[in-house]
Structure formats: C-alpha cells, structure tokens
Structure 1
Amino acid sequence: MQETLTPTRRRLALPIFIACAYGLAWLVALPLWLGDGLNSPWFMVVTIAMMFTPAVAALVAVLVERPQKKARALGLVPLQPVGRLLRHLALGLVVPIVVCLAALPIGHLAGVFPADFTGLSGFQQITEQQLAQAGVDELPLPIETLAALQIINVLVAALVINLLPALGEEIGWRGWMLPKLLRFGPWGAIGISGIIWGLWHAPLILLGYNYPGTPGWLALIAMVALCTIMGGVFGWLRLRSGSVWPAALAHSTFNAAATTYLLFIAADATFDPLQATITGWTGWILPAVVVLLVVLTGRFSPVSQETAGDLPRDDQ
C-alpha cells in the first residue's frame, strides 16, 4: 500500500521537526549548562552529539509525513548522474576552504585581522608554545612545512573526521528541511532556513562559543547571519546535486577550515570574531557574493527531473 502525504501531515511535519531539533539540542547541551560550560571535559562529546539532533528530528518528521520515498525525502538519494555528483562533491571540498582563507586578506585589508602571511609568526608562536608544554625545545620541521601539513590535516578532517557529524546536521537542515521552504522562493528559503539553523546553535553560542566575550543576543545575531550566508552555499550544493552529500561534505570542510586563520595570524595578536575570519562580517563578503550570484542566475533551485528525479518539495 502506498503512503500519502495528507495536508495535515505536511503542515505538522515542519513544526515538529523544528521542535525536535531544538529540544534535543538543549537536552544534549544540558550537561554543559549544569557543569563547567565550554570548559567541561564533556564539551567535545556534547557538540558532536548535538550535531546529530537535526537528523533525528528529520527522521521523526518523515515518520509524521510518511512520504513514499523516505531516502529521497531525507536527501540521501539520488546519487546519479555520477558525474554531476562528483562535480558538486569537489565544490563542497574546495569552496569552504576558499571562503575561509579569503576571509583573512579581506579582514587584513579592512584592518580587523592582524596577519603575517609570509613569516607565519603567530603560527610559529602557537606551535612553539604547544611543543614547550610537551617538553620539546625546537620545531621539528620548518614552519612553512608545518603549515602545509596543517592544510593537509584540513582535508583529512573534512573527508574523514568531520563528515559523519556534518551529515547528521545536513540530513536535517538541507536534506529534509530546505525543500520544504522552497515555496517561499529562494530568498525566503535561504533566510528562513538560516534563522532556524542559526538559532539552533543557541545552547553553545550563549555559553560563549564562536564569539567569546560578546553579549549573547549579539552573538546569536552574528551566528544567524553566518548560518544564513553559508546555508545558502550549502543549499545551492544540495539543490543542484539533487542530494545532501555535497552539502554534508561542504559543512564538514567548513568546520575543518574555520581555524586556518591560526596559520596566518601575527604573533601576539588578537581580533574580534564579530569582524574578522569567517565568523565576522569581513568573512561573509565572499560567500554572500556567491549566494547572490547563485540566486540571480536562477541556480538556487532543484535540478531538472530529467537529471535528478523528483526532488521532494512541500507542495508535491
């Protein structure tokens, strides 16, 4: 017997998804609030567990709406044509690294990011401090070689370490939720999904994550802005590939590349994360331009049925 999406189920699925994603996120983060916050020894475990809550919420939503093709509703398929999938996977690996690195010279030109692009003095200082704590007196390799190894580590983290947690988020945000919002048009889908995704981070942001020392309300606004812009990039990859996998790889790569500023910061320097690196307004410029071009060229839309099949939409 084929299952059908009744209007009532369609209307209930989205609010149930949001309620589950938010409720589970706060529940998972509760040990941090009852303990030592970001200094808790459970911090890494909590953050990774929290990244799976949107996928759990999406599974609950799928049980509510009962679509005929559940894997497609979650964005897990199709995986063909293979050439198109591989192209978008490559973009998912490259684009986040480019925008994270481009944020640094833009911030430097704007006077908000103190950089040392040639001497790598800040990276050397940080590395020497870490080695000294381990009882090592000198660098084992030239600082340039160590910096190159860190870039390789970004690729390893993107392809192996971060991918599964990132998929946990993307199954919910871009895999299941984004197609439901396409009825509001590209700007509406980008804006609404960005607000929902950004505010979902509240359990960590209000503890000082990403924006330490910033008032909670302002940190949340910044996080919503960042999630709206980068969510537009991830959403573009999801819609044009027809599946969630390129978006998941992009999310994984973004998380891995976000700390590459440590390679190029000047020694003894500090900066305001509201203004510099990918978390600040100077870092949002390039990905915002990408999203603008994608929308204006009509590419923030599902691929055609001839190449991807019926990507799930709320009005179908």
Structure 2
Amino acid sequence: MLRSYRKALTFVLLTISISWGMAALYFALGGEWRTGDWKAILFGFVYMWIPALVAIGVQRGIYREPVVKPLGISFRFNWWFLVAWLLPPAIALLSSVISLAFPGVSFSADMSGLIERMAYYLRGFTPEQLEAEKSRLAAIPMWVFLLGGLIQGLLAGATVNALFAFGEELGWRGLLFRELAPLGFWKSQALIGLIWGIWHAPIILQGHNYPQHPVLGVPMMCLFCLLFSPIIGYIRLRTGSVLAAAIMHGTLNGTAGLGILFLKGGDDLTVGLTGAAGFIAIALVNLAIYLWGKPEKSQ
C-alpha cells in the first residue's frame, strides 16, 4: 500500500522538512512573525511557496511526469469559481454570528474588541497610540468599515493573496489531491487537512492565528484545516482547477478578519473563523456538501 502512495509520502516528507527547517533558521536568527514587517511578509511568501516548489520537483524532477494537467493547472472557468470567491466571507460572517452565542461575547460597534484582540500584533504601539487607534476606528461608521473590509478582502483574495496561496495549493490540492484520490473524497481530504495543519506548526507557535494560545493553537489549527480541507477540495473537484482552490484560500485569508470585526470578549480559541465558533460554521458547510454535494460520486 505504501508503494501506491510513495509520491505523496515523498512530497510530504520533503515539504515538512524544508518548511520547518527554514522556519527554524528564520526564527533562530531573530526573525519575528509580525503584521506589517517586510521580513515576515517575505518569509511568509517563501514559506507558502515551498509546497509548490516541492510538488514541481517531485512531479517533474523525480518522477519525470508532466506538471500542468496532473496538478490541476487549468484556466477553464465555471460558476464554481464564483462560489470559491464568495463563500469564505459568508462563512466568516456566520462564525461572527455564532460567536455571539458564547458566554462573555458581545457585539462591539466601535471595534474596541478588535483592538484588544490585536494587541499582540500591535505590541510596538504605546498605550497612547492604542487609545488613538481606538478613537480613530470608533469614528468610522460601522457599515463603511464592514463594506470596505469585504471589498478589500475579496479583491486581495482573487489577486495577491491568491498568488501567495497558489504556492500552497499546488501541493495540497494539486499533487496530494491527485495522489490520495484512491482513498475517496472524505478520507483523502481529511488526510490532506491534517498534513496542511501540521505544516503550519512553526508559525502557529510564533503567534499566527492564536497569539493568546500559541501551543494550543497547533492542534486547533490542525482541526481548522481538517474541517476546511473538504470545502476547498470540493471546489477543486467541481472546477477541476487548483486555481479556484488558490482563490478560495486567498479570499479566506483576506476576509477571515470579518469574523471578529465587531466582537468583544472571548479569545482566539472560541471566537472568529479559526475558533470554536468558526469550526461550527465550517462544519455546517461540510454537512451541506455531505447531504447535497455528492463528492464521492463526482470524484
């Protein structure tokens, strides 16, 4: 059985080894994972492109097989591309509504809760600067901030974020999607999701997504990826293109913040898209795919 999945195993071992090795070197040399830091952005771009480079190396360099068609690089568009683009913000907003059902979580129109939650990333700010930022945000009408965030996230998701995400998706929903297909849709997507989550471990430990709980954040991220993998996998299946997966992934990254924009209370384990509330929202989408999507028959 291992022989049947040797290519997938080779890809996973190389990707994890190179990614974790590069992350260890970056952080050992004093690199930080901080919003707006150009070194962190550059590191993030290279880190996200390691799966793609390894996938191409394994597919073409080791196995001497073509890359474009087998890995799903297709520019044939259908309406599922639109679903890939619009579904992430819908899930993020649903997670925000579900978050309000958690104890101690309330609606915050002035976005003061967002500033408190972002304190880790704004740790270079003085208390006076934080208060000034709160006042500035409170002066902006809620609908303007929501609409602006949505438009910005959608535009970034289909452009620059998609470029970043393509580096990951060529590995996860390109090579692994094809090589693990014999397992069936749900089993293969669960395994891809688990690998995807584990791959994130070095940056999660540095505060990505779970700055309040970086250690607990590792299994939480694995669970998030496990749950979201079938959704991106289903988009990949319906479009036949890894480009749609990249757009969905990019838009997910660009609009995830909508889930915590107007929330006060809770923490990174409970509220927002990557918290327990988000897991419930994502699980509901998976349930819809299971009941009406028929992915096993399509695959």
Shift of 1:173: 0.3
Structure showing greater Rg: 1
1:152 has 2:151 as partner: yes
Matches within 5 A, 1:1-316: 11-29=5-23, 30-39=25-34, 41=37, 42-63=39-60, 64-67=62-65, 69-77=66-74, 79-80=75-76, 85-111=77-103, 113-116=105-108, 119-122=109-112, 132=132, 142-214=141-213, 216=215, 218-266=216-264, 270-297=265-292, 299-301=294-296, 303=298
- Return closer, same or farther for 1:87/1:120 CA change in 2, 3 Å cut-off: farther
Q: Look up the SS of the partner of 1:109 in the other structure.
A: coil
Q: Is the 8 A contact 1:242 1:302 kept in 2?
A: no
Pick closer, same or farther for the CA change 1:23–1:158 going to 2, 3 Å: same
Alignment check: 8 A CA contact 1:122 1:262 kept? no
Please state how far the C-alpha of 1:286 moved relative to its aligned partner.
2.2
**Cα offset for 1:125?**
6.9
Deviation, 1:221, is: 1.2
Note the alpha carbon deviations across 1:37-67, whole angstroms, 9 max, x for none.
3259422211121110110111022122333
Deviation, structure 1 residue 97:
0.7
SS in 2 for 1:45: helix
Equivalent residue letter for 2:205: L
- Cα pair 1:96 1:250 within 8 Å, conserved: yes
- Rate the CA distance shift 1:33–1:114 in 2: closer, same or farther, 3 A: farther
TM-score normalised by structure 1 residue count: 0.79
Looking at structure 2, the residues matched to 205 and 180 of structure 1 have their Cα atoms a distance apart, in angstroms, of 27
Q: Distance in 2 between matches of 1:152 and 1:140?
A: 20
| Alpha-carbon separation, structure 1, partners of 2:227 and 2:204 | 18
Q: Is the 8 A contact 1:17 1:61 kept in 2?
A: yes
How far did 1:160 drift?
Answer: 2.0
Deviation at 1:279, TM superposition (A): 0.8
The SS at the match of 1:259 is helix
Rounded Cα–Cα distance in structure 1 between residues aligned with 2:44 and 2:297: 31
The residue that corresponds to 2:120 in the other structure is none
The residue identity in structure 2 corresponding to 1:282 is A
**Residues 114/75 of structure 1: CA separation in 2 closer, same or farther (3 Å cut):** same
Secondary structure of the structure 2 residue equivalent to 1:90: helix
1:166 partner letter: A
Contact preservation (8 Å) 2:162, 2:247: yes
Query: Structure 1 stretches (4+) deviating beyond 6 angstroms?
Result: 123-126, 136-140
Give the Å deviation of 1:224. Answer: 0.8
Identity across the alignment (%): 28
1:193 shift after superposition:
0.7
- Helix, strand or coil: the match of 1:51? helix
For the residue of structure 2 that corresponds to 1:213, the secondary structure is coil
- Offset at residue 12 of structure 1 (A): 3.1
Change in 2 beyond 3 A, CA 1:198/1:261: same
- Match in the other structure for 1:311: none
Partner Cα distance (1:152, 1:131) in 2: 27
TM-score (norm 2): 0.83
Instruction: Report Cα offsets for 1:266-315 as digits up to 9, x if no partner.
Output: 4xxx42211111111211112212223323446324857xxxxxxxxxxx
Per-residue deviation, residues 175-214 of structure 1 (Å, max 9, x unmatched): 1111211222222112111111000001111222211232
Structure 1 residue runs without a partner (length 5+): 1-6, 305-316
Q: CA deviation at 1:165?
A: 0.6
What SS is found at the alignment partner of 2:180?
helix
1:130 deviates by: 6.8
Q: Is the 8 A contact 1:186 1:301 kept in 2?
A: yes
